[in-house]
Amino acid sequence: MDNKPEFRVVPSPNSVPGAERARILENPGFGKVFTDHMVTVSWDLDKGWHDASVRQRAPFQLDPASAVLHYAQEIFEGMKAYRTGHGTITLFRPEENARRFQASAKRMAMPEIPEELFLESIEQLVRIDRDWVPSGDGSSLYIRPFMFASEAFLGVRPAHSYIYCVIASPVGAYFKGGEKPISVWISDAFSRAAHGGTGAAKCGGNYAGSLLAQAEAAQHGCDQVVFLDAAEHRWVEELGGMNIFFVMDDGSIVTPPLGTILPGITRASLIRIARDSGITVEEKAYSFDQWQQDAASGRLKEAFACGTAAVVAPIGSVRHAGGEFSIGGGGVGTVTHDLRQRLVGMQRGSREDVYGWLHSIS
């Protein structure tokens, strides 16, 4: 039943012409334009994974009773393909995305797509849409694998059929202004996740629940929201879609532990890079009270958020119900800048891939 299906490849008969594509790639923005193709693979209780295809990107036909529209059985991934200086196209640690996608599926009572099938789906799409991988500074092809419950049934139980799909979108820098520090709002009304909940799964529902808090952050003039834990409303967890790091005056780094947060691949990679360059990295609970004290005393030198989309974003200022403060004078700290350079350098092939993290596509 879990034999790997063969991909049926049907190139799109009306791909975007080269000249227009080149114009789009000059300034793609984020998540607004899409490549010519998509991958879909179906799963159902009887057949398992079947009907794998690469074809023209097109809307789905969904029954109004499709389970995802009612009970939100949906998960996704986010990864990037980079055009390196050597002209090859590479993915960054795609096996990690495959494993996390399986973990998310498990939590949401969905079928786990085999790692090999996940990786082949990504390679198939990047190969057929390779001309959509931009080469500009800070730009890449953002790849969005996702899966949802497609069964038409209103009973409450795990669905019996699912559609796995991969689409891709050429992107420029996530935050306009590149390394310019962002401002964050500490949400006092909302939490993102609770123990026993779905915080560690990359599911659409977590994002739906974060949008009001993100809108509140925007109302307070901030770029992003920071969530505290649900039980005590005291411990820093993460942003709506990025993990968070703190750099202390002794050069050590603190980042919240796994559990209710999303286990970021950028987070894990930065921890590895930092530790291997002699930096002490502690994964431990850090309270918002402590954050304020450390910012006031000067013990906290830098803070940054990280994730695939924005890579590393320095945090310059913090607003909360009781006031506001800045970090490191609101500039970009040297540790933050250094870590970013090292990670981006590896991803883009300008630094040696000492960990074997790159996966090139032939």
Ligand X SMILES: *Cc1c(COP(=O)(O)O)cnc(C)c1O
Instruction: Choose, by CB under 6 A, the member of 308, 317, 336, 347 that binds ligand X.
Output: 308
Contact string (CB under 6 A) for ligand X, positions 32-51, x = contact: --------------------
- Examine residue 93 and tell whether it contacts ligand X (CB under 6 A): no
Q: What are the residues whose beta carbons fall under 8 Å from the beta carbon of 362, sequence distance 6 or more?
A: none
Instruction: Choose, by CB under 6 A, the member of 75, 89, 242, 303 that binds ligand X.
Output: 242
Q: Which is nearer to ligand X, 128 or 228 (CB)?
A: 228
- Examine residue 123 and tell whether it contacts ligand X (CB under 6 A): no
β 182-186/224-228 pair status:
parallel
Q: Which is nearer to ligand X, 91 or 128 (CB)?
A: 91
Tokens matching residue 186: 């500490």
- Examine residue 340 and tell whether it contacts ligand X (CB under 6 A): no
- Examine residue 238 and tell whether it contacts ligand X (CB under 6 A): yes
Measure the N-to-C terminal CA separation of the chain; round to a whole number of Å. 29
Least separation in angstroms between residue 202's CB and ligand X is 5
DSSP assignment string, 98-131 = HHHHHHHHHHTT-PPPPHHHHHHHHHHHHHHTGG
Least separation in angstroms between residue 239's CB and ligand X is 7
3-state helix, strand, coil in the chain (%, to 5): 25, 30, 45
Q: Which residues, 254 to 273, sit near ligand X by CB under 6 A?
A: 262, 264-267
Least separation in angstroms between residue 209's CB and ligand X is 11
Distance in angstroms (rounded) separating the CA atoms of residues 311 and 297 = 28
β 300-307/243-248 pair status:
antiparallel
Separation of CA 237 from chain center = 16
- Examine residue 80 and tell whether it contacts ligand X (CB under 6 A): no
Q: Which is nearer to ligand X, 74 or 238 (CB)?
A: 238
- Examine residue 311 and tell whether it contacts ligand X (CB under 6 A): no
Contact string (CB under 6 A) for ligand X, positions 185-224, x = contact: -----------------x----------------------
**Quick one: three-class SS letters along 33-59?**
CCCCEEEEEEEECCCEEEEEEEEECCC
- The piece of 148-156, 236-244, 316-324, 350-358 that touches ligand X (CB under 6 A) is 236-244
Least separation in angstroms between residue 145's CB and ligand X is 12
Instruction: Choose, by CB under 6 A, the member of 29, 78, 205, 331 that binds ligand X.
Output: 78
Amino acid identity, position 156: V
Least separation in angstroms between residue 7's CB and ligand X is 25
The residue behind tokens 């709506």 is 240
**Quick one: three-class SS letters along 139-197?**
CEEEEEEEEEECCECCCCCCCCEEEEEEEEEEECCCCCCCCCCEEEEECCCCCCCCCCC
Chain contacts with ligand X (rule: CB under 6 A): 78, 202, 238, 241-243, 262, 264-267, 307-308
